[in-house]
Amino acid sequence: MTINNYFKNLFHLAIPLFLSAVFSIFAFSGFLHATEPVNIVKTPANDVKVPNKGLLSLGTNEVKVGTYLLNVRKLEVASGTWVVDFYVWFIWEGENINPMNFEIMNGAVEFKDAAVLDTIEVGGRNFKWASHRIVATLTNDLNFKNYPLDIQKLTIEIEDREQSVDKLKYTINPLENNIDDFVKIQGWEVKEKSCSISTHTYKTTFGYDDDDSGLVYSRYIFGVKISRPRFSSMLKLLLPLSIILSLSFLSFALSPDKMSQRISLGISTVFTSVAFHINLTSAIPQVSYLTLADRLMISCYFILFCSLISTIYLIRFVDTQQLEKAERINRYLGFLVPLFGISLLISQFYIF
């Protein structure tokens, strides 16, 4: 091998490695910008808020509700279920309201201890206070469009079983709702908590009468946002992709007349990428849309296909002994294919 050919091959080798590094850096910086960490203590107040602790509007049907999350015992991503241990309490005034007959709308209660009852006095008014400790299995609809860089929201949704919104209306103070510092979810990071009040309308009379005024109920929603560890998720995603694409791009460092070696290298990278794709998506259920992992792998397949087509295209020049022209085209393709491929992959983090 001459010195000139040596430097040509070295040039071909540097391009794909450099572009792969650029892909990793840009994609990682884009991900960091899109998912900045959130303080789980300092969360914005909800529009429905009681400003004074323990104080409700005089002569109304308001019941203040709060939650303290103690533990998340299990999270099954495939089914969207999680087992949660938490305290819930109610504060109300008057004899016409009884918030103790509540139910969890997005799951089933596995354990509920006896209610702890008390009376508190604020501003010369007496309020009733009741608390339960509950273990429940809940279900949420998880969104995997950004898997494996997804952020999920788990919710506890509470509604009174009998009293509609005109008889009982929940209200909250978001600062009193919180998450214990020792809450851990294996494979996830707890990002922030939220709480809100909404209304839910039941489009039925439940067999009573035609009056639907009692079919709107007040609903309390306590949410926990979780995300996968950023660094390890990015590393597990981008490192194999970078290696697979770098191996494919290295085929351009080989002489155009080494067709069998170039085709063998291209086919092996295709099989490797398929195996990586199957392993990457095995941790989530089948969904009807493309995840970030699917989009990246489809882009990877297209890049590998372009690399193989480029090799096959050069065969016609090698067979007709046009080696100089084949070398020149190979140099152009050795720059254009990696550049196009890396740009296509980076776009998946920003366009969709």
Q: Write the pLDDT tens digit of every residue in 192-221.
A: 999 999 999 988 877 776 665 558 999 999
pLDDT score of 17? 58
Q: Find the helix or strand (DSSP H, E) in which 122 lies.
A: strand 116-122
**Do 3-34+231-347 and 62-228 share a fold?**
no
pLDDT > 90: percent of the chain: 49
Q: Residue 76: is its pLDDT beyond 60?
A: yes
Higher-pLDDT residue of 351 and 255 is: 255
- Ranking 50-59, 287-296, 335-344 by mean pLDDT, the lowest is 50-59
Q: pTM, whole model, 2 decimals?
A: 0.80
Q: Residue 224: is its pLDDT beyond 50?
A: yes
pLDDT score of 352? 63
pLDDT score of 22? 54
Candidates 194, 216, 191; CA nearest to 203 is 216
pLDDT score of 40? 40
State the CATH class of domain 3-34+231-347: mainly alpha
Q: What's the rounded mean pLDDT across residues 246-265?
A: 85
Strands (E), 140-215: 151-160, 169-171, 178-179, 189-201
pLDDT confidence bin for 132, thresholds 50/70/90: very high
Q: Residue 36: is its pLDDT beyond 60?
A: no
Q: What's the rounded mean pLDDT across residues 261-284?
A: 92
Distance (Å, whole) CA 176 – CA 301: 51
Residue range 94-118, pLDDT digits in tens = 888 889 999 999 999 999 999 999 9
Q: Residue 280: is its pLDDT beyond 50?
A: yes
Q: Positive or negative, the Cα torsion across 49, 51, 53, 56? A: negative
62-228 CATH, one of 2.70.170.10, 2.170.150.70, 3.10.20.30, 1.10.10.10? 2.70.170.10
pLDDT score of 291? 94
Both tokens of 107, joined, read: 């799951």
Q: What's the rounded mean pLDDT across residues 165-183?
A: 93
pLDDT score of 350? 82
Q: Positive or negative, the Cα torsion across 284, 285, 286, 291? A: negative
Q: Report domain extents, the chain.
A: 3-34+231-347, 62-228
pLDDT score of 9? 54
Q: Residue 59: is its pLDDT beyond 90?
A: no
Q: Residue 324: is its pLDDT beyond 90?
A: no
Q: Reduce the DSSP state of residue 209 to 3 states and report it.
A: coil
**34, amino acid identity:** A
Q: Residue 27: is its pLDDT beyond 70?
A: no
Q: Exposed, middle or buried, 231 (CB in 10 Å: 0-12/13-18/19+)? A: exposed
Residue whose pair of structure tokens reads 């490192």 in the numeric block: 239
Using CA atoms, how far residue 294 sits from 19, 203, 273, 339, in Å, is 21, 39, 11, 21
Distance (Å, whole) CA 136 – CA 115: 16
Q: Residue 83: is its pLDDT beyond 90?
A: yes
